[in-house]
Structure 1
C-alpha cells in the first residue's frame, strides 16, 4: 500500500523545493516481528491468529490483533478473546537472525542508519537521489528487498523529520508505505488522535480527553501555555512542538544506548521472596555481562515491577560512583527490592525488571586508589569468559537451578 498525503499550497516554490530536499528520512518498522517470523517459517500459520509466548503475549499476528489481543496481555485473557488462536513458543535465535538480515539491507541501502530496536530503524537517504532515486523509490526498493530476501513484511514512513516518519510508518501498517510530502505535514498530522504523539501514554491521553482534546490539531490550537497548565511545562513544551511537526533531530549513526534492561514475566502464581530474589539476581548477572561486554559503566540501578492488577511501580538508586561490578549492581537491586517487598506482598507480582541507566564509556570512569585498570582475574571476568565461550546458561546461580534464566530477548548491540 502506498499513500501520499498532499497539501500546503501556501508556501513559495523555493521553500517547497527546500522542504523537498529535507523529506528524506525513512522509518522502517517490521510488522508484528516475532509473529511474522513464525508465519514465515511455518506456512500452516499464515493467515491465522498467532500468539507468540505462553503466560504473557510477546507478540501477536495482525489476525490475532483483530480480536483485541495486545502485548503484554496475559495469555489466558488473550485466549478468551480468541479461543482459536495458535500459541507458539518464542524462538529468540530465529528473531535475532532475521533482524541481522534486515539490518544488512538497511546498511546496504544507506550508511546513515540509526537502529531503534531489533525490528525498526531510521534511515537518512538524503544524499542518494542521483544514485538510488527519490526517498519514496528507495523505500519501495527496501520493502521489496526485505520481502524477497528475508521473507518479512515491513512498513516504511517517509518524511522530513524522524517523528513524522515514525508516525507515517505506524499509520501505513500493516505492510505499507506512506509519504508525508513537504507542505503537507500539518494536513497529515492534525487529524490524527493525540495518542500518536511521542509522550502521550494512557495517563496523559486521559487528561487530554477529559478536557475535550482528542485530535492533534486541537492540542496544537490550545497553545504551549495552555498545555503547560494541563500537563506541566516540560510535557507542554514537548507536545506543542510535536503538534506543529517540529523535530530538529537528525539520524544519529553514532548514538549509543542510554540504558540497558531486562525483565522476567512471573505469571500470576504467588512467588516466594526467595524466588523473586533469585530472579532479580539472574537479571543483574545478565545486565552486568552486557555492560562489561559493551565496555560501559552505569551510575543508576532501576527496579521495575508489575503487579497482579497490572499497575506498575518503578524504584531507582544512584550509586556513589559509576561501576560495572556485578556484586555492586546486584546489591543495589536487592536494596530496592527489599524496600518494595511490603507492596509486593500486598498486591502480588507478575513481572520484575531491572535497568541500568546513566551509562558512560568505561574508559571515562575515574579510577580510585591505587590507579589501576580493571583486573583480569575477577569473578566477573571469569564468568564473562565462560558465558561468551559456551553460552549464557553455562554458569548460573544455584538459586536459579530448575527455574531457568528466563527469556533473553534479542537486542541491538549495546
Structure 2
C-alpha cells in the first residue's frame, strides 16, 4: 500500500503566539530574540532578517524592528495543545519540534473525499483552537511532505501524489533545497557544476557514492528522486549518545573554542560509532561561568553517521551562539538513534 504522509509546520511559531497575545504587534516587523533571533515574523523577513541572526545585525537591516524576549514556557504549553489536537487524529505521529511533526495518514485519509480536503480541514482546526496558522504538506514519504509544507507558506498547503510530481517540481530548484545539503556541501557540488536538483539525475548511485561518500551520495540520489523509506517513528523510544566536558578555566578565545569543540565532537562521534548507530539529531550544550546554559539542536529526516556531515551540523549550531567566550562547559549529543543494521533503505532494488 502506498503511504500518505503529512508534515505540518506552524508559521513563525513563537512570533505568531506573541502577535496573537499582543494585537499591537500585528503588521509590524518583529522578532522573538535574546541576543540572537529565534523567530522572525513575515514582515521582518521582508528585510532579510532570519533566525540565528544577531539582533544587532537585524536592527541594522530594520531600524524600527520590534524585539520581544522569548517566553519558552508559554510556547511549550501552546505546543502541547497542538500535540493533543493532532493526537485525536491518529497516534502515528512523529513530533520533531515544538512547532512541527510528521503524521502517517495512510489509513485516516480514506475517510475524506480528497487529500486537499483533509489538509484544509487540518489547518482550519488548528487555527480554530489556537488562533495560530500552520502550513501543511502531503506526500508519499517524509521528504516529499516536508518540502511540500514549505511551498505555500504561510497558512497554505501543497500535495505531491507520486514521485513523478516531486521530480518535476524539484528539478529546477537550487541544490541547497535538498535536506542534507548545507552551505559547505553546496559549494563542493557547485564546483562540480551541480547547481540544480535536476543536475543530480545524470549520475548513478554508484557514481555519487564514489564522488561524495556513502552517506552524502545516498542523500543526493534518493532525495533528488523523492525516495525516502524512513518510517514515521511514532512509538520509537528516544535514545542518545554524546559527550560533554567541564573546563577548569573558562574558554576565552576563538582558537580555544574551536579546538575544544573538535575534541568533544570526536569523543561523541567515537561513541556513536561504537554503538553502531545512525543519528537524525545533533544537539549542543554550552554553559558559561555565570551558570547560564544554552542548548540547540538540529534534526534531519534521514539518519546518518557521516563524520563530516555531522560535524558541519554541530558547527552550524555553535555558530548560532552569539557569546563565544567565558565558556565553562561544552557538550555534543546525538539523538534519535537507529541501529545501522536495521536501516530502512534498500539499495539493491535500484538500477544504475
TM-score by length of 1: 0.61
Structure 2 counterpart of 1:127, from 107, 110, 133: 107
Quote the Cα distance in structure 1 between the aligned partners of 2:6 and 2:118.
9
Structure 1 counterpart of 2:5, from 25, 29, 35: 25
Alignment-derived partner of residue 157 in structure 2: 177
Kindly tell me: are residues 52 and 273 of structure 1, through their superposed partners in 2, closer, same or farther at Cα, counting changes over 3 Å? farther
Question: Which deviations, in whole Å up to 9, do the C-alpha atoms of 1:23-67 show, x marking residues without a partner?
Answer: 521000111111111111111111211111131111111111111
Instruction: Please identify, of 70-79 and 225-234, the stretch whose mean Cα deviation from structure 2 is larger.
Output: 225-234
Aligned pairs for 1:196-211 (under 5 A) are 196-211=177-192
Aligned pairs for 1:243-282 (under 5 A) are 243-259=224-240, 274=249
Which structure dedicates a bigger proportion of its chain to strand?
A: 2
Kindly tell me: are residues 308 and 149 of structure 1, through their superposed partners in 2, closer, same or farther at Cα, counting changes over 3 Å? farther
* Aligned: 1:355 with 2:332: yes
Aligned pairs for 1:133-212 (under 5 A) are 133-182=113-162, 183-212=164-193
Count the aligned residue pairs. Answer: 282
Quote the Cα distance in structure 2 between the aligned partners of 1:60 and 1:159.
27
Please give the secondary structure, in 2, of the residue aligned with 1:96: helix
Give the CA RMSD over aligned residues. 3.6
Greater Rg over alpha carbons, structure:
1
Quote the Cα distance in structure 1 between the aligned partners of 2:48 and 2:260.
22
Structure 2 counterpart of 1:54, from 34, 59, 63: 34
TM-score by length of 2: 0.71
Contact 2:149–2:158 (8 Å) recurs in 1: yes
Runs of 4+ in 1 over 6 A off after TM superposition: 305-312, 319-322
Question: Which deviations, in whole Å up to 9, do the C-alpha atoms of 1:133-179 show, x marking residues without a partner?
Answer: 43332221110011111111101101101100001112222221000
* Aligned: 1:222 with 2:200: no
Quote the Cα distance in structure 1 between the aligned partners of 2:192 and 2:86.
42
Gaps of 5+ in 1: 1-20, 264-271, 278-304, 323-329, 331-347, 361-414
Kindly tell me: are residues 92 and 184 of structure 1, through their superposed partners in 2, closer, same or farther at Cα, counting changes over 3 Å? same
Quote the Cα distance in structure 1 between the aligned partners of 2:183 and 2:73.
33
Question: Which deviations, in whole Å up to 9, do the C-alpha atoms of 1:239-267 show, x marking residues without a partner?
Answer: 11111111112212112334489x9xxxx
Kindly tell me: are residues 63 and 258 of structure 1, through their superposed partners in 2, closer, same or farther at Cα, counting changes over 3 Å? farther
Contact 1:168–1:178 (8 Å) recurs in 2: yes
Gaps of 5+ in 2: 276-284, 286-322, 338-352
Kindly tell me: are residues 73 and 354 of structure 1, through their superposed partners in 2, closer, same or farther at Cα, counting changes over 3 Å? same
Alignment-derived partner of residue 106 in structure 1: 86
Question: Which deviations, in whole Å up to 9, do the C-alpha atoms of 1:323-376 show, x marking residues without a partner?
Answer: xxxxxxx9xxxxxxxxxxxxxxxxx8268753334789xxxxxxxxxxxxxxxx
